[in-house]
Structure 1
Amino acid sequence: MSKVSIRRFARSTEGGLTGICVVFFVGLVIASGGDLLEPNSLRVLLQFLAVPVLIGLAQMVVLAVGQLNLAVGAIGGFAAVAMGVLMVDHGVPVPLALLIGFGLATLAGLANGLLVVLTRINGFIVTLATMTVLIGVQYRLVGTRTVDDYPQALKSFGAYAVFGVLPVIFGVALLVAVVLAIVLRRTVPGRQLLASGGNPIAARLSGISNDRSVILAHTISGAILGVAAVLTVASSPGVNKSIGGDWLLPSFAAPIIGGALLTGGSAVILGTVLAAFIVRFVDTARAEFSLEPSWVNFVVGAVVLGSVVLGQVRTRRQARTQVVKTPDVAVTGGVA
C-alpha cells in the first residue's frame, strides 16, 4: 500500500473508526488487567460480535436505497423461532430447518420490498407494519416457553472456535460482509442499487429501475437476517419470543456510525463492521465497570445522533464546496 493510500485511509471514516477501535481495545485491556487478552475472553468478545455485524449490514443495504427497515429484529426473531420449533416440535432435520428459516427471512424481506413498491407507502410505515405482524407470529409459534432441546451438534457448531480464539460464527459474519461488498461493488445489480439510492432521478433516466433496486435491497436484507437467525440459534442456549427484540438500535447504530448516509447511495461495509466493534466495546466497558445496562443505549444513541449531525454538516459542506468550484456559464448571443 502506497503512502498516499495510507494517508487517504487515515483521513477516511474507516480510518477514524479503526483508530477508535484500537484506543478502545487498549483501554479495555488495561482496565481488565490484561484479562481481555486471554483466549477465552477474546473468543467471547468475537462470538457476540457476529450477530451485531450481520444486523448492521442488513440495515445498511436498505439504507443504501434511502429506505429504513424497522422489521430487522422481527424478521430475525421470527426466523430463529421457526427454526427451533421445526427442529424440536416437528423433528425436521437440522440442515432443512435452518434452510427453511433462512428462506422465510428472505421471503419476509422480499415481501417488504414488494409492499413498498406496490403500495408506494414509505418503507418506515411498511416495515413497522410487518414488524408488528411478525412479532405476533413469533409469539404464536413459541408462546412463553423457551425452545432449547434441539441437537447438541448445532450448539457445538455455534461454540466452536478456531485455535480456541476465532469463533466460526464470527468468520461466517465476515464472509457475509465480503460477499455483500462484492455484490454491491462488482455486480451490475449492486451498482444499480447504489445508483438508485444516490440519485433516483438520474438512475431512472439512465434506464435503471428504482423499484427493482428497492426490492433487491430488502430481499438481501432479509437474507442477511436469515443468516443472523441461523447463528443466533446455533450460539444461544435457546430461542423464545424475546429473540430479536433488542436488534433495532444496534442495526441502525453500526451503519450510521460507520458513515452510511440516510439519503442513500453509500455502501460502508468496513465502516459498519468497525462500528459494530465499537458498540461491542461500549458494552464490554459497561460490564467491566459495572455500569447500568441503560448506559449502553444512552452512549450508543448519543453517538448515532452525533454521527447523523456530522454527516449532515459534511454533506452540506461538500455541496457548498461544489457550488463554489463550479464555474459560471455565460450565455452570449450575437448576429452574424
Structure 2
Amino acid sequence: MTTLTPPERRPRLPRLPERIAGTETTLAALAVAGYVVLAATTHGAVVSGGTLTAIFQFLAVPMVIGLSQMAVLSVGQMNLGVGVLTGFCAMVCAWLMVAAGLPAWLAVAGALLTGAAIGLVNGLLVVLTRINGFVVTLATMTIIDGLRYGVHGTATYQGYSHRLVSLGQGSVLGVPTVFLAAVAIAILVAFFFRSVPLGRRLLASGGNPLAARLSGVSNDRSLVVAHLVSGLLAGAAGVMVVALSGSVNATIGDDLLLPSFAAPIIGGVALAGGVVSVLGTCLAALIIRLVDVAQAQYSINPDWVDLIVGAVVLGAVLITQLRRPRAGGTP
C-alpha cells in the first residue's frame, strides 16, 4: 500500500527571496541614474534618437547571452562556451544562407538547432562523466573554437538575406526589433522558470539537490535541460548577431564570455544554483551597456572598462558568498 506524504511535509519549490527584489530595485535605480549622468555630462548626446536606438540594438545580444549563462547557473553549473557557441551559431546561420543557399527561416532554425544540440551534448557529457560543467564546457569551447577557424577559416560571410538584416536593423515605433525580440525571449525564460514545472525543477535541483531527488526530481535531467536551454539561447543570440551585423566571421563571440557572466552575477543569480533573476540579469546587461557607451563618449581605454566590470563581478560574488542564501527563488 502506497503511503502519501502529507501536504504540509512535501518539499516546496523555492520562492523569490527578498534580496533578489532588492537587487533588481537597486539595479533599476543605478541604470536610471547612470543614464541621467551620461545625458548631463555629454550635453544630451545620449538622448538623441540615433544613440538611443544604438544602445538598445546592441543591448539585445548581451541580454540573451546573460540569460544563456543564467540557465546553467540555475543548477549550479557554468558554461564557458557561451560566447564561442554564439559566434559558431552565427557562422552556421550565415553559411546556410550564403554557401548552402537556404532561405533565412531555415538558416535561423539551423542555428537554433545547432546551439540546442551542442548544449544537449554538454549536458549529457556532464551527466555521463560526472565531470563539472566548468571543465566540460571548457573542452567543448576549445573544440568549437577550432571548428570555427578550421572549417570556416577567416572568411567573412556577407550578402545574405536582406530581409533578415532589415528586420534586425529595423524598429517598431522607434524601438529596435532585435531588442523587442530579446525582451520576448526574456519573458519566455521568466515564464519557464516561474510557471513551467520543468523550469521549477531546475531551481529545485540547484537549490537543494538532495531534497529535489527525494521529492522525485531527476537532477540528471535538470542538468541536461539546463545546458540544452543555455545552448538554445546562445543560438538565438547568434541569430541576432547575424541580423544586426550584415556580415559574420570567425571572431564573433570572442568578447562575450565576461558579459555572459557579468549580467547574471551582478543581477543577483546565485553561483551555487537555485536562484535566478531574469529582470536582474537584463538590468545588469543594461548597466554594462551604459558603461560601454560611457567608454565611447569619454574615450576611456577599453582595458579600464574590462577592469571595472571584472571588479564589479568579483564584488558581487564576494557579497553573495557572505550572504550565503539558504533558499532559492524564481524570476
The answer, yes or no, to whether TM exceeds 0.5 is yes
Q: TM-score, normalised by structure 1?
A: 0.90
Whether 1:145 aligns to 2:141 is no
* Runs of 4+ more than 3 Å apart: 8-11
Q: Deviations over 1:30-70 (max 9, x none)?
A: 12211211111110000000000000000011001000000
Separation in 2, partners of 1:271, 1:250: 14
Separation in 1, partners of 2:287, 2:151: 34
Equivalent runs, 1:1-336 vs 2, <5 Å: 12-163=22-173, 165-315=174-324
Identity %: 50
Q: 1:215 to 1:77 in 2, by over 3 A?
A: same
The RMSD of aligned alpha carbons is 1.4
Asked whether the equivalents of residues 85 and 141 of structure 1 are also in contact (C-alpha less than 8 Å), the reply is no
Asked whether the equivalents of residues 81 and 141 of structure 1 are also in contact (C-alpha less than 8 Å), the reply is no
Please tell me the residue identity of whatever aligns with 1:265. Answer: G
Asked whether the equivalents of residues 111 and 236 of structure 2 are also in contact (C-alpha less than 8 Å), the reply is no
SS of residue in 2 equivalent to 1:196: helix
Please tell me the residue identity of whatever aligns with 1:58. Answer: S
User: If you compute each CA radius of gyration, which structure gives the higher value, 1 or 2?
Assistant: 1
Separation in 2, partners of 1:187, 1:11: 21
* Unpaired segments ≥5 residues, structure 2: 1-17, 327-331
Separation in 2, partners of 1:122, 1:312: 20
Q: Deviations over 1:214-257 (max 9, x none)?
A: 00101111111111111100001311110111110000000000
Asked whether the equivalents of residues 82 and 141 of structure 1 are also in contact (C-alpha less than 8 Å), the reply is no
Q: Deviations over 1:256-299 (max 9, x none)?
A: 00011110001110000000001001111111110111111111
* Unpaired segments ≥5 residues, structure 1: 1-7, 320-336
SS of residue in 2 equivalent to 1:12: helix
Q: Deviations over 1:130-165 (max 9, x none)?
A: 1001111111332112111212221111110122x3
Separation in 1, partners of 2:32, 2:83: 29
